[in-house]
Chain A
Amino acid sequence: MARRLALLFVAVASPLILLLFALPWSGAQALFAVLVTAYPVALIVVAVSRRGRVGPLGIPLLLLLVLLEASTVAMLALRNRVLDAPWVAGLPLAAAIQLYGVWLAPLLLVVLAYALTFDRYEMRQEDLDRLLASTRHREDPP
């Protein structure tokens, strides 16, 4: 289900983005920003799905999507109102969201999610053994 949704998203978002680039519509840019933020997460879901499910990566990938989308929507909401918003960690809120919300926080999340799920989901020993056995079988003379 997750995989189908992700594939459908990429398949629909790609021509939609092309359309947005050419449309004389004021909301096109904001919609593009929201779509393109979800795009990489959708590609990851397509790649990591097994039998349509994303297993232990479900929560980290959902968090990543929420983090990136929330940051994008917040930056859009603060657009051209930089000085009206509070300053955080030495920067206006929109800039702080960009640096800490889109740059540093996802880095931590992705690095941890990848390493912590690697052995039991991403590259299991039994899968590597299967691949090795298949290669040997392929190389053995009949």
Chain B
Amino acid sequence: MMPILAKPAIMWSALAYLLVVVVIGWWAAQRTRNAKDFFIAGQGIGLVVTGLATMSAAFSGFVFIGGPGLTYRMGLASLFICIPVSFTAGLLCWVVAKRLRLLAGVREIYTVPDVILCRYRSRLASGLAAVAVIVGTVGYLGAQLRALGIMIEAIFGTRRLLGPWSLAIAIAIGLVIVVFYATAGGMVAGVYTDVFQGALMVGAAIAVFTAALASGGGLGSIAHSIAGSHRFGAGFLDPLGGGVPIFTAMGFFMVFAIGNLGQPHMLHKFFMLDDPRKLKWMPLVLGVTQTLCLLIWLGIGLAVPALVATGRLAPLANPDDASPQFLLHFVPEALAGAVFAGILAAIMSTADSFVNIGSAALVRDLPKAFGRRLRDELRWGRIAVVGVAVAAAVFAYLYGDLIALLGTFAFGTFGAALGPALAIGLNWRRVTAAAAAASIATGMGVSLVLEFLAKQTYFPALPKPPFAPGVLPAAVSLAASFTVLFAVTWVTARRQPPDIDDDVQLVMDL
């Protein structure tokens, strides 16, 4: 990463970006007066802002760095992670967004566990949902803060100045900026920085995609170079072949399509929309911006193997170097600066969303699960933001490998724990509170156990999960969570049909 230091445009772009984020945070702080402002931006956000904020919260630095690296390693099969965006915006809107937004209009709902409590009237189910949110938040947020620290370290060259303390100080700098705007401006700051960050991500992705196609002489030339090379071969361009098990490729499709229905950092944004009728164009805004942003993954993911195949770039020792190598050697310095700022934006926009929902889970959802309510949620929310962020940063620094592991499966954990109870429960009245609680516990528990067994190296004697090669633990936990939801509903709904409040029932019927 040292070459970044030799390119001052990258450092200045990053500084300018961080300055804009701080200014937005200061501006938003003037507009945050109560808990509703702090947690759901006063429910006064328009369509484009909500769409861009949802997109930028959903896409972390993985889209810019990890995604192209994964394509370099496993070919087009990796694209099954991003391809579901073709319909997930519609899936979200049809299956959950309308009902989430309408419920937030008739009840005081700020969080996903609030929705669970409202639908099932079960503090157990709501409390389990809050625990799932906190577990996933620590993983997701810790991974984002660590990635932020690594980026700051690389861009500003802090390692040369600070030696062994470099990463800790770089994480601390990122932490201070995120905590500043998330504490001061809450979700108002979160969504408006997300809009700025989302626009930056989309612009950078389009520009890099164009540069990537140009570097390889167009899509056809890139594909022929890859297919004709010994290193990659035709299998690279085979979506369901090339040595990648179908269970893995289509497992990506399953987890990243259906798992979307349980992502609190995305669902949370729907509570903020000022008018539910604006959902009409949400699939357009969300689907198109997601697709545009993913062009960077597709572009670098194809261009770098083609450049390696034609000998214009040395083979990568680490696939995650695909993006940095391409940006440093094949795009103009000013554009590279904007893209590095875009990577910071992708990381920080995801981090700020988790800081907010993590603090809401601590000061609102968990106390409610125990039948209590804090008196001043705004003040406690601000304190919790600091607590959640500092805890995640400390974990990220002390247990880097563990946090990376937690971060990679947080998406699957959220999907499996919260997806079935929301996707089926908000659309089928027979789902009982017991079924929702069992499904949430199953999704969270199976995900944690399987991911730990699959990736841990601490205890060599522990068995590996008993599944075929290539099966994703997140896909198992998602299927298990749906199975348990239906099974427990089948058993319990006969004994006692669910008791749903009239207004909630009306929202479910619409």
Contacts and interface: CB of A to CB of B under 8 A. Distances in A.
Interface of A: 7, 10-11, 14-15, 17-18, 21-24, 28-30, 32-33, 36-37, 39-40, 43-44, 46-48, 64, 68, 72, 75-76, 78-80, 82-83, 87, 89-92, 94-95, 97-99, 102-107, 110-111, 113-115, 118-119, 122-123, 127-128, 130-131, 134-135, 138
A21 B284 contact: no
Contacts of A43: 91, 95, 258, 261, 423-424
B253 interface: yes
B453 interface: no
A107 B291 contact: yes
Interface residues of B, number: 75
Given A21-B247, A29-B247, A94 B239 contact: yes
A10 to B, nearest CB: 7
Contacts of B9: none
A82 B238 contact: yes
Contacts of A79: 238, 240-241
B486 interface: yes
A44 B223 contact: no
Contacts of B476: 18, 21
* A22, A91, A92, A95 interface centre (most CB from chain B within 10 Å): A95
A98 B471 CA distance: 21
A139 to B, nearest CB: 10
B20 interface: no
B483 A14 contact: yes
A110 B76 contact: no
29 contacts: A14-B480, A18-B479, A18-B480, A36-B254, A37-B250, A40-B91, A43-B258, A43-B424, A44-B90, A46-B424, A46-B427, A47-B423, A47-B426, A79-B241, A82-B237, A83-B227, A92-B223, A92-B227, A95-B223, A102-B83, A103-B83, A110-B86, A110-B90, A118-B280, A123-B98, A135-B105, A135-B106, A138-B502, A138-B503
Interface in B432-469: 466-468
A110 B480 contact: no
* A28, A90, A119 interface centre (most CB from chain B within 10 Å): A90
Contacts of B471: 21
A18 B467 CA distance: 9
Given A10-B424, A90-B223, A103-B86, A18 B483 contact: yes
B218 interface: yes
B311 interface: no
Given A46-B427, A98-B76, A98-B83, A75 B468 contact: no
A115 B284 contact: yes
B42 interface: no
B118 interface: no
A75 B240 CA distance: 6
A113 B287 CA distance: 13
Contacts of B96: 47
A80 to B, nearest CB: 4
B198 interface: no
B267 to A, nearest CB: 14
Contact of B468 (A22, A44, A94): A22
Contacts of B245: 29
Contacts of B284: 111, 114-115
A123 B366 CA distance: 33
B387 interface: no
Given A107-B86, A114-B94, A134 B503 contact: yes
Contacts of B83: 98, 102-103
Given A47-B427, A98-B79, A123-B276, A21 B468 contact: yes
Contact of B283 (A15, A102, A110): A110
A95 B75 CA distance: 10
A104 B86 CA distance: 6
* A43, A64, A135 interface centre (most CB from chain B within 10 Å): A43
Contacts of A76: 240, 246
Contacts of A134: 106, 502-503, 506
Interface string B12-32: 000000000000000000000
A49 to B, nearest CB: 8
Contacts of B234: 82-83, 92
B423 A115 contact: no
A94 B94 contact: no
Interface in B276-292: 276-277, 279-284, 287-288, 291
A106 B87 contact: yes
Contacts of B72: none
Contacts of B258: 39-40, 43
B49 interface: no
B412 to A, nearest CB: 14
Contacts of B219: 89-91
Contacts of B102: 131
* B85, B280, B298 interface centre (most CB from chain A within 10 Å): B280
A30 B261 CA distance: 25
Given A21-B476, A40-B258, A107 B287 contact: yes
Nearest to A133: B506
B406 interface: no
Contacts of B475: 17, 21
